[in-house]
Amino acid sequence: MVIKEAKFVTSNTRADLCPQTDLPEYAFIGRSNVGKSSLINTLTNRLKLAKTSSFPGKTQLINHFLINDDWYLVDLPGYGWAKVSKESRETWRKMINFYLRNRPNLACVFVLIDSRLPPQKPDLEFMEQLGTMGVPFVLIFTKIDKQSKIKTEANIALFMKTLKETWEEPPMYMTSSSTTKEGREEILQFISDVNRR
Ligand code: GDP
């Protein structure tokens, strides 16, 4: 897919204020620092579409970008900040649950996972939540340039093995690097394919 245009549309905290549209949307989420903003900028070929390295405590917003006047890319606030209060976590949980339940045009959630780490509880819990709600999702293992291919493969194998303990059918996954742009074409192709269905 060629990205001809990527336009910022809205930032807000409520799904009912997100664009009213029939166009499909694809949301990106993951633990803070997983490389979500970098990946969004890589996918769209825009240096600063998504702001990188945001800090805890900053207002957490649902950001909509319109791509090629054809589909929405949604930057969701990340989870897993070590030091945020219980109250902030609860605000995040409510906002995300409300978003996930109230976007009938949501085609897929990309859950970003740091390819260098063993399975992390917040990621596993978030996937459980998606499964309970019946929201389709695909995993993207990020930052694969940071280690050898063998190490990435071993970490992914461990992750999938962990998922098999609770999931009948483990989700599809892809890998990415915002440094080398590996994975970019595959992710965009996936979106193209789902859009054409
Ligand atoms: P976010 O908090 O999930 O939006 O993460 P960011 O995109 O801000 O990335 C967090 C840090 O990881 C930044 O210092 C990025 O430069 C770095 N980073 C993100 N993606 C990659 C990647 O694919 N490869 C490498 N080497 N570094 C990355």
Long-range (24+ apart) CB contacts under 8 A made by 123-129 are 123/30, 123/31, 123/80, 124/162, 124/163, 124/166, 126/29, 126/79, 127/163, 127/171, 128/166, 129/97, 129/100
3-state secondary structure of 161: helix
DSSP string computed for 4-26 = --EEEEEEES-GGGS---SS-EE
Residue 84: what pLDDT? 77
Q: Which residue has a Cα nearest atom 25 of ligand 1? A: 143
3-state secondary structure of 48: coil
59: amino acid identity, one letter: T
Residue 54: what pLDDT? 55
In terms of Cβ atoms closer than 10 Å to its own Cβ (0-12, 13-18, 19+), residue 61 is middle
3-state secondary structure of 137: strand
Residue 86: what pLDDT? 85
CA dihedral angle for residue 108, residue 39, residue 142, residue 81, rounded to 10 degrees: -90
Does residue 105 have its Cβ closer than 6 Å to ligand 1?
no
The verdict on ipTM greater than 0.90 is: yes
Domains, the chain: 6-196 (3.40.50.300)
Does residue 13 have its Cβ closer than 6 Å to ligand 1?
no
- Asked whether the whole model's pTM tops 0.90, one would answer yes
**Which residues, in sequence order, are bridge partners of residue 124?**
none
Gap from CA of 143 to ligand 1 centroid (Å): 7
Residue 126: what pLDDT? 95
Q: Which residue has a Cα nearest atom 2 of ligand 1? A: 33
Residue 58: what pLDDT? 58
Q: Which residue has a Cα nearest atom 9 of ligand 1? A: 35
Give the ligand 1 atom nearest the CA of 177.
23
Residue 110: what pLDDT? 98
Q: Which residue has a Cα nearest atom 14 of ligand 1? A: 53
Q: pLDDT tens for the chain, 197 residues: list them.
A: 999 999 999 999 888 899 999 999 999 999 989 999 999 999 999 877 877 655 555 568 899 999 999 999 999 998 887 777 888 888 889 999 999 999 999 999 999 999 999 999 999 999 999 999 999 999 999 999 999 999 999 999 999 999 999 899 889 999 999 999 999 999 999 999 999 98
Residue 24: what pLDDT? 97
Residue 195: what pLDDT? 94
